[in-house]
Amino acid sequence: METKQTEKENEITRKELGFENGECWSAIVTGKSRAGGVSLWWREGLQVTVMSGSLNHIDSKIDEDTYGTWRFLGIYGWPEGSEKWLTWELLRSLAGQWEGPWLCGGDLNQVLTEAEKEGGNRPSVTEMWLFNDCLLDRGVQDLGFQGYKYTWDNSRGQGGFIEERMDRFVGSDAWSDKFQDARVLHLDKRRSNHRPIICDSLGEEDVDPAWGRSFRFDPIWAKHGDCAHLIQQAWQQGGMNDICSKLQQCREQLGNGAWRPFRTSNF
């Protein structure tokens, strides 16, 4: 994951979340901004060997009794258009060092197709072609997803709002054959402008896509006629004198984005 933390902050967060082991490359110690940097955490009992790392990648080998040995490559792609070729060269180089099953995931800072971007200028055809060519060259494919389509937005509300699918997992055919029930989940974001994404390799995790959801009422909703009706209906469905039940009903009704005609960045 992209850390946006110092190595000390990252270590504290890792321990608070119950991960016994981890490696971190922080951009902050190099004098750069909080953007960038990568971190990989794992729990006790999983055999992980970190092969190499930088501010833009962590290459690791995973050894499992049941599934054997495979590689995981975490990537933070260069965000600037003039430097994105560095991401694909890094991916080609590291993938070329391993012939077995491998998985790659992270914020690649690039869309694969025009359909993966909403708002703003059209994505660069050249940059999309280079990304697709890299995946084809290394024999990997996008693993798809369940959940909301886009993983990042520019947090600008109604004015100039842009969404893109910049975070993803891709895997080799050998990895997909080994983990045939694998699925990628896009969860709800909370404080970041990126949605957390999970690759559930065995398809067994009981994960609520609303993980981390923080409900906030957007004043722009009040401009729509259905809003007042939904609140009134939800209030009546709550308990007679139970204010918490009434508020929960309102949250559930308004939290269902199907009725809202306005796009916001809160959900």
User: pLDDT, tens digit, for every residue of 22-68?
Assistant: 888 765 544 455 556 788 888 888 899 999 999 899 999 999 988 99
Between residues 71 and 38, which one has the greater pLDDT? 71
pLDDT of residue 160: 87
Return the pLDDT at 218.
Answer: 64
d(CA 179, CA 75): 21
Compute the half-sphere exposure of residue 148: CA atoms within 13 Å on the CB side of its CA. Answer: 29
The pLDDT of residue 72 is: 95
* Alpha carbons 215 and 210: distance in angstroms, whole number: 10
b/e map 57-72, b = 16+ CB within 10 Å: bbbbbbeeeeeeebbb
Assigned architecture for domain 46-200: 4-Layer Sandwich (3.60)
What confidence tier does 237 reach under pLDDT thresholds 50, 70, 90? confident
Residue spans of the domains in the chain: they are 46-200, 219-259
Q: Which residue has the higher pLDDT, 5 or 130?
A: 130
pLDDT of residue 33: 52
Instruction: Give the C-alpha separation, 48 to 59, whole Å.
Output: 10
Contact 58, 3 (CB under 8 A): no
From 63-77, 122-136, 160-174, 194-208, the region with the lowest mean pLDDT: 194-208
Is 183 or 244 the better-scoring residue by pLDDT?
Answer: 183
Could you tell me the CA-to-CA distances from 231 to 33, 144, 239, 254, 255 in Å, in that order? 43, 36, 14, 8, 11
Q: What is the mean pLDDT of residues 241-254?
A: 70
